[in-house]
C-alpha cells in the first residue's frame, strides 16, 4: 500500500502560482508525485494542463476597458485588460474577470500593477524605514537584513495589483487568477493598466 501524502493548502497554492494550473489539478499532481514539486510540474506538463505557461508572451492587442463605480459614485475604476482576439474579449468569462479585477481595484486600492512598476526610490525609502525599525529592536545585522527583505516582500503584496490577494477569494492572488483565465480561455491575457478615482482625492492611480 502506498503511503498517504498529506498536503497543506500553501503547498497547493505554491504549485498553482508556479504553473497557473487549477487548484484541483495541482492537488492531484502533488498527490500523484508524493508531494515532489518538480515532478508535479512535469506531471502537469505531460497531462497538457500547463496551457497558460505556453500562451504567456503571445501578442495580445484585443480586449476591453472595463469600468466599475462603487460607494454611491464616490469611487470609480477604469482597467484595460488585453487578450488575443475580439471573440474572447466578448466572452462572458473574460467580462466577468474584467469586472472582478475592476471591483478588486476599487476595494484594495493597489498603487502599482506589479513590482516592476514600483519606482526604485520608493523601494529604497521603504527599505530604509524597515531597516531603521528593525535596528531599534537591537537585533544583529544579519537578522535585520532578513526582516527588512521580508517586509519588502510584504510591501509588494500590499501595493502591487498582481500580488494582492483577490478580495473575493483570498486564497489566490490576482496574478494567479489571471493565469487561471489564460488557461480557461486558451489565449494570452494581460492587465495592462488601471486608474482608480476617489471623490475628493487628486492622486488617482
SS3 call for 131: helix
Asked whether residue 18 falls in the same domain as residue 84, the answer is no
CA 182-110-52 angle, 5° bins: 10
The answer to the question of residue 4 being in a domain is no
Residue 52 has pLDDT above 50, yes or no: yes
CATH number, domain containing residue 68: 3.30.479.20
Helices of type H across the chain: 9-19, 23-32, 37-46, 51-55, 86-89, 92-108, 120-135, 141-159, 174-185
pLDDT digits (tens, 9 = 90+) for 16-32: 777 766 677 888 888 88
Quickly count: other Cβ atoms within 10 Å of residue 198's Cβ: 17
**Burial, 95: exposed, middle or buried (Cβ in 10 Å; 0-12, 13-18, 19+)?**
middle
**Distance separating the N- and C-terminal Cα atoms of the chain:** 57
Residue 15 — very low, low, confident or very high, per pLDDT cuts 50/70/90? confident
Asked whether residue 108 falls in the same domain as residue 83, the answer is yes
pLDDT digits (tens, 9 = 90+) for 129-188: 988 888 887 777 878 888 888 899 999 999 999 999 999 999 999 999 999 998 888 888
Instruction: Count the domains in the chain.
Output: 3
Residue 107 has pLDDT above 60, yes or no: yes
The answer to the question of residue 204 being in a domain is no
- What pTM does this model have? 0.70
Residues spanned by the domain of 13: 9-49
Amino acid at each position: 500500500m502506498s503511503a498517504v501524502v498529506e498536503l497543506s493548502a500553501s503547498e497547493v497554492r505554491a504549485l498553482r502560482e508556479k504553473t497557473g494550473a487549477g487548484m484541483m489539478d495541482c492537488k492531484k499532481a502533488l498527490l500523484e508525485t508524493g508531494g515532489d514539486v518538480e515532478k508535479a510540474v512535469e506531471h502537469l506538463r505531460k497531462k497538457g494542463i500547463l496551457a497558460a505557461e505556453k500562451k504567456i508572451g503571445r501578442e495580445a492587442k484585443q480586449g476591453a476597458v472595463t469600468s466599475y463605480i462603487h460607494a454611491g459614485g464616490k469611487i470609480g475604476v477604469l482597467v484595460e485588460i488585453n487578450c488575443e482576439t475580439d471573440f474572447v474579449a466578448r466572452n462572458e468569462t473574460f467580462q466577468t474577470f474584467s469586472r472582478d479585477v475592476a471591483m478588486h481595484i476599487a476595494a484594495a486600492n493597489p498603487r502599482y500593477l506589479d513590482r516592476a512598476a514600483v519606482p526604485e526610490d520608493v523601494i529604497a525609502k521603504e527599505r530604509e524605514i524597515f531597516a531603521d525599525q528593525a535596528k531599534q529592536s537591537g537585533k544583529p545585522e544579519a537578522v535585520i537584513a532578513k526582516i527588512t527583505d521580508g517586509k519588502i516582500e510584504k510591501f509588494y503584496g500590499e501595493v502591487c495589483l498582481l500580488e494582492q490577494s483577490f478580495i473575493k477569494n483570498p486564497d489566490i492572488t490576482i496574478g494567479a487568477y489571471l493565469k487561471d483565465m489564460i488557461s480557461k480561455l486558451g489565449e494570452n491575457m494581460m492587465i495592462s493598466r488601471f486608474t482608480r478615482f476617489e471623490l475628493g482625492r487628486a492622486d488617482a492611480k
